[in-house]
Amino acid sequence: MKTLSTDVLIAGAGPVGLLLALWLTRNGVRVVVVDCAASPGTHSYALGLHPETVTLLKECGLGPTLESHAPAHSEMLVYAEEEPVTRLPLAGKQEPLRVFGQHQLESVLETKLRSEGVEVLWCHALTDFCETPDGIEGIVDEREERLVGYASAHLDWFARRSLKINARFLVGADGHRSLTRRRLGLTFREIGKAEIFAVFEFVCRDEDTIPVLPTLVFHPKSISALWPTAQGNYRWAFEVDARFTRNVRREKDRYLAQWSNDAAFPAVEEGLLRDFIAKRAPWFTPKPKNILWRSVVRFERRIASEIGKGRVALVGDSAHLGGPLGMHSVNLGMQEARSLGDALTRWIRDDEASDILAYRENTLNRWQALLANQSQAGSAVYPAAIQPHANRLAWTLPVPDDRLAAVLRELAS
């Protein structure tokens, strides 16, 4: 069996694993990054970069890319039913929030990593690992997709060969179904009710388009979010109820387009989009011409019982899951990747493990507070359509916890 040696083996090349790989590489630490998929994701998913994330990405040398391709926003418009009620500040001390599709982010992170001399090993799945006296031995299967089945042919994965990867440390950045977390025997505790959203990204006829700000629309039983995309399209996410759960998924697409018609996606047909807009946002006048992406996604609120053990750490969705509207999973995930990267660098250089322990403890505490909404501002009273959602505003607003109390006061005033 072929064997590779490295300092840190990273399982998962989503935005969080890629950022960690880049940070470690720039710190002079050797990494191997494996991902079981064939390529990065292809849709906008978490498309808002919090100001703190923009600062971080600029530190990684991505400033010029963001300046030219990621539109900046300093405010978010809030509607209570059909009435605009306020504009919330989104900017941090140094940067505005920027809109950048997750597929764009993954692509530029991978390109940057390659320019630093590291190639992601796509089609390589971590299948097992164990601790050794000097570190970790990871077993990774190189896989290929093959067309199988008669009559209803489909693509399936097959292992071609296995690799052994000896590393001093393993990081599971392997997403919500994390093999790393499961192999460590950690639980992934559900903290509260899942949220289900129907998502539509679409273009309109040129003459129909209007400039929009990131917008949240509160109704007593649902929240909807409108985002202008970096390409000048629109993305609506409408909260829906459990009747939609049969069509729910939480896997990232790897194909460039959805070859679809309404029959292929009955739960998110075009008529439904028009209906949602008419009922929840009648002020939104652009007429959808072409739906580029549609999906029904279930977002759970979960946190791992520990953020790793021994020579293994978790980061990003493998450690925690939050709602989609505040985009905390990716933004905090990438900021945690930086802390973990620095902690690992210190451990590898100076044999000092205290920062890794602090990383685990801080991450756990921060997410427990966020998901339990403990950082909410006192007993504030919000407009009637917003009040029923008071207990989930902490992870609904795209604002980090240190600015949240001020923004909540603004919403209540």
Ligand X SMILES: Cc1cc2nc3c(=O)[nH]c(=O)nc-3n(C[C@H](O)[C@H](O)[C@H](O)COP(=O)(O)OP(=O)(O)OC[C@H]3O[C@@H](n4cnc5c(N)ncnc54)[C@H](O)[C@@H]3O)c2cc1C
| CA gap 172, 70 in Å, rounded | 29
Which part of the chain contacts ligand X (CB under 6 A), choosing from 49-57, 171-179, 214-222, 379-387? 171-179
| CA gap 160, 124 in Å, rounded | 10
* Closer to ligand X by Cβ: residue 125 or 356: 125
Among 7, 52, 95, 174, binds ligand X (CB under 6 A): 174
Could you tell me the smallest distance in angstroms from the CB atom of residue 235 to ligand X? 8
* Closer to ligand X by Cβ: residue 2 or 349: 2
Q: Which residues contact 24 (CB under 8 A, 6 or more apart)?
A: 7, 8, 31, 341, 344, 345
236, 273 contact by CB (below 8 A): yes
Is residue 37 within the footprint of ligand X (CB under 6 A)?
yes
Among 35, 239, 269, 306, binds ligand X (CB under 6 A): 35
Q: Which of 192, 220, 216 is nearest to 410 (CA)?
A: 216
* Closer to ligand X by Cβ: residue 32 or 412: 32
Do the bridges between strand 154-172 and strand 75-80 make them parallel or antiparallel, or are there none, so unpaired? unpaired
Could you tell me the smallest distance in angstroms from the CB atom of residue 251 to ligand X? 6
Among 330, 340, 385, 407, binds ligand X (CB under 6 A): 330
Residues 229-288 that bind ligand X (CB under 6 A): 237, 250-252
- Under DSSP, the state recorded for 287 is P
Could you tell me the smallest distance in angstroms from the CB atom of residue 369 to ligand X? 18
* Closer to ligand X by Cβ: residue 288 or 316: 316
Which part of the chain contacts ligand X (CB under 6 A), choosing from 150-158, 322-330, 343-351, 404-412? 322-330
Q: Which of 64, 60, 74, 49 is nearest to 18 (CA)?
A: 60
Is residue 45 within the footprint of ligand X (CB under 6 A)?
yes
| CA gap 149, 114 in Å, rounded | 37
Is residue 173 within the footprint of ligand X (CB under 6 A)?
yes
Among 15, 51, 214, 228, binds ligand X (CB under 6 A): 15
Task: Check the CA dihedral 394-397-402-405 and report its sign.
Answer: negative
In degrees and rounded to multiples of 5, residue 380 shows phi and psi of: -60, 150
What count of other Cβ atoms lies within 10 Å of the Cβ of residue 256?
A: 9
> Which 3-state string (H, E, C) describes 124-156?
EEEEEEEEECCEEEEEEEEEEEEEECCCCCEEE
Q: Which of 182, 181, 179 is nearest to 35 (CA)?
A: 179
* Closer to ligand X by Cβ: residue 96 or 333: 333
| CA gap 385, 48 in Å, rounded | 24
| CA gap 137, 392 in Å, rounded | 41
Show the tokens assigned to 20: 């960690």
Task: Check the CA dihedral 249-255-257-259 and report its sign.
Answer: negative
Which part of the chain contacts ligand X (CB under 6 A), choosing from 30-38, 59-67, 266-274, 303-311? 30-38
Could you tell me the smallest distance in angstroms from the CB atom of residue 97 to ligand X? 13
Show the tokens assigned to 184: 């460590």
Is residue 306 within the footprint of ligand X (CB under 6 A)?
no
* Closer to ligand X by Cβ: residue 299 or 412: 299
Is residue 327 within the footprint of ligand X (CB under 6 A)?
yes
Residues 379-398 that bind ligand X (CB under 6 A): none
* Closer to ligand X by Cβ: residue 245 or 354: 245
Kindly determine how many residues on this chain lie close enough to bind ligand X according to the rule CB under 6 A: 33
Among 92, 96, 138, 333, binds ligand X (CB under 6 A): 333
Is residue 12 within the footprint of ligand X (CB under 6 A)?
yes
227, 238 contact by CB (below 8 A): no
Distance of CA 313 to the CA centre of its chain: 18
Among 53, 102, 104, 233, binds ligand X (CB under 6 A): 102
Among 22, 57, 108, 126, binds ligand X (CB under 6 A): 126
* Closer to ligand X by Cβ: residue 229 or 295: 295
110, 18 contact by CB (below 8 A): yes
Among 295, 339, 345, 396, binds ligand X (CB under 6 A): 295
124, 140 contact by CB (below 8 A): yes
* Closer to ligand X by Cβ: residue 176 or 219: 176
Residues 188-227 that bind ligand X (CB under 6 A): none
Contact residues: ligand X, CB under 6 A: 11-17, 34-37, 45-46, 102, 125-126, 173-175, 179, 237, 250-252, 295, 297, 316-317, 324, 327, 329-330, 333
